[in-house]
Structure 1
Amino acid sequence: MGKNLTKRSEDYSKWYNELVVKADLAENSGVRGCMVIKPYGFAIWEKMQAALDKMFKETGHENAYFPLFIPKSYLSKEASHVEGFAKECAVVTHYRLKNAEDGSGIIVDPDAKLEEELIVRPTSETIIWDTYRRWIQSYRDLPLLINQWANVVRWEMRTRLFLRTAEFLWQEGHTAHATEAEAIEEAEKMMRVYAEFAEEHMAMPVIQGVKTESERFAGAIETYCIEALMQDGKALQAGTSHFLGQNFAKAFDVKFANKEGKQEHVWATSWGVSTRLVGALIMSHSDDNGLVLPPKLAPIQVVIVPIYKGMEQLDAISEKVAPLVKELRVKGISVKFDNRDTHKPGFKFNEYELKGVPVRLAIGKRDLENGTYEVARRDTLTKEIVPMDDVVAKIEFLLEDIQKNIYQKAHSFREDNITEVDTYEEFKKVLEEKGGFISAHWDGTNETEEKIKEETKATIRCIPLGTENKEGKCMVTGKLSSKRVLFAKAY
């Protein structure tokens, strides 16, 4: 199965598209630009969702749900917000169908036109802030820390499974605060939560930073982000958190009485990650044999494949394996005993290699006699013989070690692919020949940023946080610059 994949070195994009389909993660649907997430792909998303949801709740957030449809007038209340999403909006204009009089089929009933068009949510700031007006009256109602798990629609013309689809799944946090400082602290905190999730669960190293003015979320005063580097040297924005100031509170007249009884507009944030993370997971770790999944997010962490001739041997193996399966499950380890008699062991080995299952055990007649298992790890494709008495401890060690190993491998790749340059010529050469993140001085103007983007297709991925300010000269204009920023071509 895995041997039929296009090699990454030959055509990275084709490799990715093939892997998503062959590993049974997702497929294109009958709706243009929309995907069907298959059970195995959805199981990865569910694991992501569970981990993130726990982290959100541990930081004081609660889940709610808001309407899919947004009145058009709501979007027009915040000018920069509507401008940012106007070209991607799907619009509902009618509410009824009917049979055509000539019998040609179903048509939209022209008499069922909506008084006001409804937008299928591209994001929920407007509908949520209209709701918050009713929820917030006093400082006692603050902070309001709400998250929702939902789907959104952004009418993309060029789509790719998980990375960019017209409809996708995500979570979006929307919070309200009494002070500017509290809101900024919240936005920064959620960026750190995303970074912790990416590194500790996805085993994907990220750089935390802020976006430039031109790359900010529509309606935001500041956008914080985590940026990751994929194996083809392109960057991927893995999560964003936005300080919205009082823009939406003023647009929807959301005020509260402070402790002195004076009316003030509240301060806002929003933040989100989506099923794009599944694409990031694939491109961060996988190889020419298929998926390589971090154990913390693998739907199946351990698979046991019996090698047998006849039902008598299978029954003996099944009896020996049953207590192991039970013990692993008690420890919270997801395990599958694949006793299908419709596929040969070799097919199963290929299948689970393709699907990125971290640990594979094989057991046959000789193993039964010797009291051993053959244990294989997906990340290094190495195998060893382990006594049955030691196999649980070995599995626990391997799950931790694989998680660390694939993070370290991705981190080393990222570090090897951050290049400092001082001239525009050097920048263009590195971008063309090496790719990756390029650290360079920029004069801080939109004009220079746009010139670089037009001429090279590279964008400023972020202004990194936590790095020392070192003055230099912009590689394009020669003007003074206080800090290096990170450029890359990106998904």
Structure 2
Amino acid sequence: MAKELKELTLREENYSQWYNDLVVKAGLAENSAVRGCMVIKPYGYAIWEKMQRVLDQMFKDTGHENAYFPLFIPKSFFSKEAHHVEGFAKECAVVTHYRLKNDPEGKGVVVDPAARLEEELIVRPTSETIIWNTYKNWIQSYRDLPILCNQWANVVRWEMRTRLFLRTAEFLWQEGHTAHETKEEAMAEARKMIHVYADFAEKWMGLPVIIGHKSDSERFAGADDTLTIEAMMQDGKALQSGTSHFLAQNFAKAFDVQFTNREGKLDYVWASSWGVSTRLMGALIMAHSDNNGLVLPPRLAPIQVVLIPIYKGAEELGRISTRLDEIAAGLKAKGISVKIDARDNVRTGFKFAEYELKGVPVRLAMGPRDFAAGTVELMRRDTLEKETVSQEGVDALIERLLDEIQENIYRKALAFRDSMITKVDTYDEFKRVLDEKGGFLLAHWDGTPETEERIKAETKATIRCIPVDAPQEEGMCIISGKPSHRRVIFARSY
């Protein structure tokens, strides 16, 4: 493990390589035999499961129900909403045949040319089209509304340049799809869900986010409005961490989903959709971790406390293990996840380094002297501080400490994020700050896609969002000099 840590690229030397090393060496994920796809390993999946469990309950608490819709979508469905197909056409994987056969020349198997599908199927890049085709059968009257569905699924977006968790050809996510009687209800749903995401990011991930609207050119294909939560990574780049879309009546009109309203007239249904993905895993890693490995917020850590006996011989191990079992029982009774590592085939130093690498929030170690003195050595992963504490009442101490670590991780990320927000008033200043510091740049923009595209082409910075709480502030666009009524947030991003 010491060798593993030594081979972990330093964060300040090469942030991108540090991230890749950490994902692999901490046992979160690895590249698969399929180009652009990943294998999520058990430790990484355990974090995702915790995320999933919390979010799923948050959705249910806001009235949503889980359902499941097909992975395959008829190609013709994508032709019905012009903006939607344009937005996803270049990323779609297409199924053209349904059967293989043995190669007549004995070279394995080949696609059977006689088994071509009458209509090609698109492997789900997102589910608006298949779901709205289904909703047509579910909705006849205003009494059938609202429909508040969510599904946990995988999607495929054919990416050529990939990075574990952040951008892969196949990834896991949830997608909510709701149908409403009025425009106001659908817009309220989109706003509500982006705040659910922000609440999860800040209270569970320890990740401060900015809520805002996407510009017209950056919003979801087929939406009238896209809300986003934007987070800041330690290298000064932004990461879009969740989106919620007001779809207006676009998909209802595309799939002819009408209902009889309260006045007895036919009207098209109003809609929203919203989603987060395993990209949140990337955010969790990049926002908090250090050169010793992962730093996990306790609320999402698969193992919150690891207990390590230090011993010579079976007799010492037996006595110490009995005491650690008692401590573990007290912790488990408080709902804290615990692991006792009594392996005898690796050294104690290896175990210490391994759990630091894996980001376990609290480590307890007990040797013969600790046992005799009624103490235990405690180390917290967020600060790497050690102290010797009494075994008596250690479960209550750790319960408080886990909350303190959770809050400390958030405060540290918030202080960093706030330090990376810079107001700029000229294009020269914009480019200088972007190159020398990075982070979020608050700048005036004239609202035109031409200016937005020029900035993106020349600097690789995009408008991350127009903050929902952006104050009215008169100014001039940093490029065109035209009037601007508020600042928007630019950044380079993942």
User: Aligned equivalents of 2:266 and 2:314: distance in 1?
Assistant: 78
User: Aligned equivalents of 1:171 and 1:271: distance in 2?
Assistant: 8
Q: How far is 1:390 from its partner?
A: 2.6
Q: How far is 1:490 from its partner?
A: 0.1
TM-score by length of 1: 0.99
* Alignment match, 2:33: 30
2:109 counterpart letter in structure 1: I
* Alignment match, 2:252: 249
* Equivalent runs, 1:79-478 vs 2, <5 Å: 79-478=82-481
SS at match of 1:389: coil
SS at match of 1:223: strand
Q: How far is 1:242 from its partner?
A: 0.2
User: Aligned equivalents of 1:299 and 1:71: distance in 2?
Assistant: 39
SS at match of 1:218: coil
Q: Is residue 334–residue 399 contact of structure 2 (8 Å, CA) maintained in 1?
A: no
Q: What CA deviation, in whole Å up to 9, does each residue of 1:128-147 have, x standing for no partner?
A: 00000001111111110000
Q: How far is 1:468 from its partner?
A: 1.2
User: Aligned equivalents of 1:453 and 1:118: distance in 2?
Assistant: 34
Q: How far is 1:469 from its partner?
A: 1.0
* Equivalent runs, 1:470-489 vs 2, <5 Å: 470-489=473-492
Instruction: Report which stretch shifted further, 1-10 or 119-128.
Output: 1-10
* Alignment match, 1:39: 42
SS at match of 1:215: coil
User: Aligned equivalents of 1:142 and 1:278: distance in 2?
Assistant: 34
Percent identity reads: 71
Instruction: Report which stretch shifted further, 118-127 or 335-344.
Output: 335-344
Query: Which ranges in structure 2 are unaligned for 5 or more consecutive residues?
Result: none
1:87 counterpart letter in structure 2: K
SS at match of 2:393: helix
| Superposition RMSD in Å | 0.6
Q: How far is 1:4 from its partner?
A: 2.8
* Alignment match, 1:6: 9
TM-score by length of 2: 0.99
User: Aligned equivalents of 2:58 and 2:6: distance in 1?
Assistant: 38
Q: How far is 1:104 from its partner?
A: 1.3
User: Aligned equivalents of 2:419 and 2:105: distance in 1?
Assistant: 67
Query: Which ranges in structure 1 are unaligned for 5 or more consecutive residues?
Result: none
Q: How far is 1:152 from its partner?
A: 0.1
Q: Is residue 153–residue 166 contact of structure 1 (8 Å, CA) maintained in 2?
A: yes
Q: Is residue 317–residue 368 contact of structure 1 (8 Å, CA) maintained in 2?
A: yes
Q: Is residue 378–residue 389 contact of structure 2 (8 Å, CA) maintained in 1?
A: yes
Q: How far is 1:69 from its partner?
A: 0.1
User: Aligned equivalents of 1:367 and 1:122: distance in 2?
Assistant: 56
User: Aligned equivalents of 2:299 and 2:139: distance in 1?
Assistant: 39
Q: What CA deviation, in whole Å up to 9, does each residue of 1:359-411 have, x standing for no partner?
A: 00000100110001100000000000010113112111110011000100000
Q: How far is 1:21 from its partner?
A: 0.2
Q: Is residue 3–residue 289 contact of structure 1 (8 Å, CA) maintained in 2?
A: no
Instruction: Report which stretch shifted further, 8-17 or 314-323.
Output: 314-323
SS at match of 2:239: strand
Q: How far is 1:57 from its partner?
A: 0.3
Residues matched between the structures, number:
491
User: Aligned equivalents of 1:174 and 1:276: distance in 2?
Assistant: 20
Q: How far is 1:123 from its partner?
A: 0.2
SS at match of 1:134: helix
2:179 counterpart letter in structure 1: A
